Structure formats: structure tokens, C-alpha cells
């Protein structure tokens, strides 16, 4: 396994992603872990990450001494290269002038890291690489024993190596896709130089994870909040595989789910997997509390708060020994839950426990269930903590969940509550559900000829928004005065920024035709052509 030490770069997670893509297991830990930690972790290789924007306060960040003492290959990236230089006797010139963007570096000599990896070659036969740079400081004197690996006109030492020790460093960022050969370089390091096997696959992972869950849980009971989303579903399937009936899923149906979604969740988990699922029908409660509320933030707070209340109530019942569900699901007596399982995934872990403090304004308050385990007096079980989203999906499929479920677009916790603008009413939710189902069905059924992929696959998120305004229309000989919906489809890799998707007109035409014809009560369909920023993906 590979250890990544995080100096606080925004893109450290991407290093881990790329290493995992090479089927090598890795973990990110803060740069100031102890020497004992590093020794006992016993990595096969260490990668030192970059650091974030301002440099001055960060000059002092260093890698623990053990990094240099345990005799494994080390790769320094950006700031990681600078700290390597400083710690091993070279020099760095600190500056607050940043160089940022594409650059072309020239490879020097034949190093194991870059040999044979190039985008093109110069007439003299030097390998050239198109890379992404983002730095102000630079190494000006190589540490003893190091040779030059790469350079650019403005950064004469853009890479360095001490091949005898297996130390390599680059000033550019191989982890971002702008560096075209970045994946090849990282693979060369972990597979070639460090000799990792590249055998991290999901099938093996299941057996390992199942064993770990069994060991952690013993004969105790676990509860899990099932939402139908990817993470909680995969967590449920995995835990169920490990401990069967010792798991009880609580599915809070707030009435703001998509068409037939609640039934599908039940059919999958109760019907097919034979898991214990308690479906709490809470539509009336949620819609009751939402009546008359139009402010988006208030709506989010109400939905999030109620969700936690309802879940807590169910959890408390289950915690109290022998809660009345034993007869229903066979003979096993329920002893009272002591574990709360959550579908926390790796990006959540890194974001909340990362090495940096984040100052961000709240654009939208998301569901926050942090603190629940303490309030309930339950221990936490988070079996997906070390997986990235696409690994979670792969795991889901390996566990037998249907790919359509596992590869679904994300759906916000407050559900249709934020897709019905202003006041939420059952009438609106019912209209929206039907219109949205048509839109999604058409996206799933329409292929793009150029790529052979469906438009559902070609978009990152697509949905319908209900606008509580009425417009005049004509149907047959009659006048209509009905509601309007907006279709929204975006393409994005990170959901932080997004472009509206250029869906084919013919597809949009079919959707509007079907929605207006099939959903009585809607007589106008619009398409949202706003990107994020300045718009957000959801409308509220
Ligand atoms: P926005 O609308 O902020 O959304 O551009 C970015 C992504 O986050 C999803 N989203 C949520 N997810 N709980 C969630 O779990 C929420 O409260 C929530 N609000 C927005 C949104 O669907 C999009 O994928």
C-alpha cells in the first residue's frame, strides 16, 4: 500500500484516485503524522502532495523524518518536491509570485520515472510533456546526490531524482488530467519503481470488508439509514452480506421521492436481498410541516430536521432492547442496536477531517447527520470510508445491486422539496414525479450516435423542476391554464462547476410532447440553459 502525505493541496484526493486507478491501495494522511505511525504503516512507497495557495505560512511544513529513514521510494509533487529539496540539503527560492497553467517540460536523461513517457520528442530527441503547473516557489539548488529530471524555461529545476534511493520529485501536477501523461507517470512510480502489484480489486475487497465488519460488530445489532441513494444502498448491501439479520435498515419515506422510488427501494432490499427494512411513511408529517413555507433555506432546514427526528425516533425504538420487530423477520431476537452504520465515503472523510480549515459561505445547507451517533449513544460503522465514489459503484455491482441503481445520477437529500419552487404541495409533487419520469425515461432510451452512449450516461445529473406558475395553452379546441416545468440537464466532473447539457432538439421535443400530452396539469415545458456558476444545479 501507498501512503500519501497531505500538505493541504486542493487536489491531494486526485493523487489517491490515480493511484487507486492503477489498482494500488493507498491512503491520505496529514503531513504531520508521527514517525512511529509511518513505521507501523509500513508503506511500499510514499507520495508527498502539493500545498494550497499561499506559501508564506506553509514554508515550515515538513515531512516526518521517518519518510527518509524507512528506505522506500518517495515521490514529491509540487510543494512535496520543495520540502524534499529542503530536507535533503538543496535550496528553494520562496516567492509569492505564482506560475499557474499549462507548461511544457523537457525531460532530461533517462530516469526510471519518465523514460519512454512523452507527448512528443524534440528534434534532438528530448521527451516533451504537456503538464499543469501551479506554484510560486521553486527549487534552485539540487540536494546532494540528485540529478535534474525535467525543466521548463521559467523553472529550470522542474523535476529531480536520486535514483539510488528511489526519490523522485516533480514541480508539476501529474494527478490532474491537464497533465496528459500524469497517470502514466504515477503508474510508473507505484508499479514500476515501488513495485506495487496493482491487484486491488473489488472482489477481494468484499471478502476483506465482510471479515472486518464481522469482527467489528461481533454479535451486536446495527441500524442504518437507507435513503435509496448509492452510498447508503451499497453500505446496506455490504453490511447485510456480512451480518445478515443483525442489520436493520430504516428508510424514511418523506414523500418527496421520485416516481415509485420508495417501492423500488423496498423491493430491492426487502424483496431481493431479504434485508430487514422499516419503511417509515412520513409523507403527511413532512408535507404538513412544509405547508405555507416558501423560503428555500427554511424548507431545507425543516426537511433536514424532520428527517433526523424521525430517524432518531426509530433508532431509539430499535435501541431499546427487543423492539417489536422480531416476529416479522424470523426467529432471531432483536437485542437492541449498538451500532449506527453510515455510507460515509472517502471524499467525505477527507473533506471533514482534512488538514486544512475551510472557510466557505453556506450557499445551501445540506443534510447534516453529523453528531447523530453521539446523540443516540451508538457506535459508528462506516464500511465505505476508504472508497471513492466509482469504487463504491463497482462494489455495489459486485454485491449484486442493479447497475441502474448504482449508476444513478445523484439525488439531493431534500428530494423533490427543492425541485418544487416555493411551497411544496402533494399535487405539485405528483405532477413533477410523472413529468420527471418521462424526461429520465427518454434520456435513458436515446443514444448519441457519435459515442454510442445514452443521454442519461452522457449527463451527470438531469431532472425536472416544478414551477408554480400557470400559463395559457390550447389543447384541441379548448383553452388550458396550467403549470410549467423546466427540464435541467448538466455535465460536470465535480458538481462544483457545471455546464448545461446540449441535448439534441429532437430529444427535447419528444420530452415536451410527451409531458404535455401525458401529464394533465402541465401545458408548457422549458429547458434550463444556465451553467454553474452563476446558477446552481438545483433551483433551490
Ligand atoms: P447545487 O444545486 O448546489 O448542487 O449546484 C450541487 C450538487 O449537490 C446536490 N445537492 C444536495 N445533495 N443534500 C444532498 O445530499 C442536499 O441538501 C443537496 N442539495 C444539493 C445537487 O443535487 C447537486 O448534485
The one catalytic residue in 135, 173, 240, 254 is 173
CB-based contact 49:23 (threshold 8 Å): no
State in words which class domain 2-193 has: alpha beta
What cell numbers appear for 284 in the block?
403527511
- Which protein residue has the closest C-alpha to ligand 1 atom 11? 412
Establish whether residue 536 lines the binding site of ligand 1, counting it when its CB lies within 6 angstroms of any ligand atom. yes
Q: What's the CA-to-centroid distance between 284 and ligand 1, angstroms?
A: 24
Q: How many CB atoms lie within 10 A of CB 59?
A: 15
Q: What's the CA-to-centroid distance between 412 and ligand 1, angstroms?
A: 5
Establish whether residue 538 lines the binding site of ligand 1, counting it when its CB lies within 6 angstroms of any ligand atom. yes
What cell numbers appear for 420 in the block?
418544487
| Domain 202-406 sits in CATH 2.40.37.10 | no
3-state SS, 264-333, equals HHHHHHHHHCCCEEEEEECHHHHHHHHCCCCCHHHHHHHHHHHHHHHHHHHHHHHHCCCCCCCHHHCCCC
What cell numbers appear for 428 in the block?
405539485
- 175 as an active site residue: the answer is yes
Q: Domain locations in the chain?
A: 2-193, 202-406, 425-527
Establish whether residue 409 lines the binding site of ligand 1, counting it when its CB lies within 6 angstroms of any ligand atom. no
The predicted structure's pLDDT at residue 332: 46
Atom number in ligand 1 closest to CA 366? 17
Q: What are the Cα distances from residue 167, in Å, to 24, 33, 90, 92, 163?
A: 19, 20, 14, 17, 6
CB-based contact 122:74 (threshold 8 Å): no
Establish whether residue 532 lines the binding site of ligand 1, counting it when its CB lies within 6 angstroms of any ligand atom. yes
The one catalytic residue in 26, 108, 155, 175 is 175
Please tell me the distance from the alpha carbon of residue 392 to that of residue 385, in angstroms, as a whole number: 10
Q: What's the CA-to-centroid distance between 488 and ligand 1, angstroms?
A: 14
Q: Strand order of the sheet with strand 147-152?
A: 26-30, 2-7, 45-51, 74-77, 167-170, 155-162, 147-152, 99-107, 127-135, 120-121
Q: What's the CA-to-centroid distance between 216 and ligand 1, angstroms?
A: 32
Cis status of the peptide bond prior to 534, with omega within 30 of 0: yes
Please tell me the distance from the alpha carbon of residue 176 to that of residue 317, in angstroms, as a whole number: 48
Q: What would the CATH number be for the domain defined by 425-527?
A: 3.30.300.10
Q: What's the CA-to-centroid distance between 538 and ligand 1, angstroms?
A: 7
Among left, alpha and beta (phi > 0; psi -120 to 50; other), residue 42 is left
Q: What's the CA-to-centroid distance between 415 and ligand 1, angstroms?
A: 9
Establish whether residue 110 lines the binding site of ligand 1, counting it when its CB lies within 6 angstroms of any ligand atom. no
* Lookup result for grid cell 430487514: 276
3-state SS, 22-62, equals CCCCEEEEECCCCHHHHHHHCCCEEEEEEECCCCHHHCCCC
What crossing angle do the helices spanning 296-319 and 283-290 adopt, rounded to 10°? 150
What are the backbone dihedrals phi and psi of residue 539, each rounded to the nearest 5 degrees, phi first?
-90, -15
Q: Which of 230, 362, 412 to mutate to test the pocket of ligand 1 (most atoms within 8 A of CB)?
A: 412
The predicted structure's pLDDT at residue 369: 53
The reply to whether 2-193 and 425-527 are identical in fold is no
Atom number in ligand 1 closest to CA 363? 3
ipTM: 0.97
What cell numbers appear for 231 in the block?
452510498
- Which protein residue has the closest C-alpha to ligand 1 atom 12? 412
Establish whether residue 246 lines the binding site of ligand 1, counting it when its CB lies within 6 angstroms of any ligand atom. no
- 26 as an active site residue: the answer is no
Q: What's the CA-to-centroid distance between 493 and ligand 1, angstroms?
A: 14
Q: What are the Cα distances from residue 225, in Å, to 40, 276, 315, 359, 360?
A: 35, 12, 9, 29, 28
Strand 155-162 and strand 167-170: the pairing is antiparallel
CA-based nearest residue to 417, from 264, 520, 252, 295: 295
Establish whether residue 364 lines the binding site of ligand 1, counting it when its CB lies within 6 angstroms of any ligand atom. yes
* Lookup result for grid cell 512523452: 118
Please tell me the distance from the alpha carbon of residue 136 to that of residue 55, in angstroms, as a whole number: 8
Establish whether residue 412 lines the binding site of ligand 1, counting it when its CB lies within 6 angstroms of any ligand atom. yes
CB-based contact 286:254 (threshold 8 Å): yes
The one catalytic residue in 78, 155, 196, 511 is 78
Name residue 488's beta-bridge partners: 463
Please tell me the distance from the alpha carbon of residue 256 to that of residue 426, in angstroms, as a whole number: 9
pLDDT tens per residue across all 540 residues of the chain: 999 999 988 788 889 989 988 999 998 899 999 999 999 999 999 999 998 754 556 677 899 999 999 999 999 999 999 999 999 999 998 877 778 889 999 999 889 999 999 999 988 888 999 999 988 889 999 999 999 999 998 899 999 999 999 999 999 999 988 899 999 999 999 999 999 999 888 777 898 899 999 999 999 999 999 998 999 999 999 999 999 999 999 999 999 999 999 999 999 999 999 999 999 999 999 999 999 999 999 999 999 999 999 999 998 888 775 544 444 444 444 568 999 999 998 877 766 654 333 334 455 555 545 567 778 889 999 999 888 888 899 999 999 999 999 999 999 999 999 999 999 999 999 999 999 999 999 999 999 999 999 999 999 999 999 999 999 999 888 999 999 999 999 999 888 889 999 999 999 999 999 999 999 999 999 999 999 999 999 999
Please tell me the distance from the alpha carbon of residue 158 to that of residue 148, in angstroms, as a whole number: 8
Name residue 470's beta-bridge partners: 483
The predicted structure's pLDDT at residue 351: 64
Q: What's the CA-to-centroid distance between 354 and ligand 1, angstroms?
A: 21
- Which protein residue has the closest C-alpha to ligand 1 atom 19? 412
Atom number in ligand 1 closest to CA 300? 17
Q: Which of 225, 306, 345, 538 to mutate to test the pocket of ligand 1 (most atoms within 8 A of CB)?
A: 538
Amino acid at each position: 500500500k501507498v501512503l500519501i502525505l497531505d500538505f493541504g493541496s486542493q487536489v491531494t484526493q486526485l493523487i489517491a484516485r490515480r493511484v487507486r486507478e492503477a489498482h494500488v491501495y493507498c491512503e491520505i494522511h496529514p503531513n504531520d503524522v508521527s514517525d512511529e505511525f509511518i513505521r507501523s504503516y509500513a508503506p511500499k512507497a510514499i507520495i508527498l502532495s502539493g500545498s494550497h495557495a499561499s506559501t508564506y505560512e506553509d514554508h515550515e511544513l515538513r515531512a516526518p523524518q521517518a519518510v527518509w529513514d524507512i528506505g522506500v521510494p518517495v515521490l514529491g509533487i509540487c510543494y512535496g518536491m520543495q520540502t524534499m529539496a529542503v530536507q535533503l540539503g538543496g535550496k528553494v527560492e520562496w516567492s509569492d509570485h505564482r506560475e499557474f497553467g499549462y507548461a511544457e517540460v523537457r525531460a532530461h536523461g533517462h530516469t526510471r520515472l519518465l523514460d519512454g513517457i512523452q507527448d512528443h520528442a524534440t528534434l534532438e530527441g528530448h521527451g516533451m510533456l504537456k503538464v499543469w503547473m501551479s506554484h510560486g516557489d521553486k527549487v534552485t539548488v539540487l540536494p546532494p546526490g540528485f540529478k535534474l529530471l525535467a525543466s521548463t524555461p521559467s523553472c529550470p529545476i522542474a523535476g529531480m531524482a536520486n535514483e539510488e534511493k528511489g526519490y523522485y520529485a516533480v514541480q508539476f501536477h501529474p494527478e490532474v488530467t491537464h497533465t496528459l501523461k500524469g497517470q502514466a507517470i504515477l503508474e510508473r512510480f507505484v508499479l514500476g519503481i515501488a513495485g506495487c502489484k496493482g491487484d486491488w480489486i473489488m472482489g477481494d475487497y468484499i471478502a476483506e470488508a465482510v471479515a472486518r465488519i464481522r469482527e467489528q460488530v461481533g454479535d451486536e445489532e446495527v441500524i442504518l439509514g437507507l435513503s435509496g441513494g448509492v452510498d447508503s444502498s451499497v453500505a446496506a448491501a455490504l453490511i447485510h452480506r456480512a451480518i445478515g439479520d443483525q442489520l436493520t435498515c430504516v428508510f424514511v419515506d418523506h414523500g418527496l421521492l421520485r416516481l415509485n422510488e420508495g417501492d423500488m427501494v423496498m423491493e430491492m432490499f426487502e424483496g431481493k436481498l431479504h434485508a430487514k427494512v422499516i419503511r417509515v411513511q412520513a409523507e403527511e408529517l413532512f408535507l404538513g410541516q412544509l405547508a405555507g413555507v416558501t423560503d428555500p433555506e427554511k424548507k431545507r432546514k425543516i426537511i433536514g430536521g424532520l428527517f433526523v427526528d424521525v430517524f432518531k425516533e426509530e433508532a431509539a425504538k430499535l435501541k431499546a432492547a427487543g423492539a417489536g420487530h422480531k416476529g416479522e423477520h424470523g426467529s432471531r431476537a432483536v437485542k437492541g442496536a449498538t451500532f449506527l452504520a453510515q455510507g460515509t465515503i472517502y471524499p467525505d472523510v477527507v473533506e471533514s477531517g482534512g488538514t486544512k480549515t475551510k472557510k466557505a459561505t453556506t450557499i445551501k445547507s445540506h443534510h447534516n447527520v453529523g453528531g447523530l451517533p453521539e446523540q443516540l449513544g451508538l457506535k459508528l460503522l462506516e464500511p465505505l470510508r476508504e472508497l471513492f465514489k466509482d469504487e463504491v459503484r463497482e462494489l455495489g455491482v459486485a454485491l449484486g445491486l442493479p447497475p441502474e441503481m448504482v449508476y444513478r445520477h445523484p439525488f439531493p437529500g431534500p428530494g423533490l422539496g427543492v425541485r418544487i419552487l416555493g411551497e411544496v404541495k402533494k399535487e405539485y409533487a405528483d405532477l413533477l414525479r410523472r413529468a420527471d419520469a418521462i424526461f429520465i425515461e427518454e434520456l435513458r432510451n436515446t443514444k448519441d450516435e457519435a459515442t454510442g452512449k445514452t443521454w442519461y450516461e452522457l449527463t451527470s445529473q438531469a431532472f425536472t423542476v416544478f414551477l408554480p406558475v400557470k400559463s395559457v395553452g390550447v389543447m384541441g379546441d379548448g383553452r388550458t391554464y396550467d403549470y410549467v416545468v423546466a427540464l435541467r440537464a448538466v455535465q460536470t466532473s465535480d458538481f462544483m462547476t457545471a455546464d448545461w447539457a446540449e441535448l439534441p432538439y429532437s430529444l427535447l421535443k419528444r420530452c415536451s410532447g410527451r409531458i404535455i400530452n401525458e401529464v394533465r396539469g402541465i401545458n408548457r415545458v422549458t429547458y434550463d440553459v444556465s451553467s454553474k456558476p452563476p446558477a446552481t444545479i438545483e433551483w433551490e
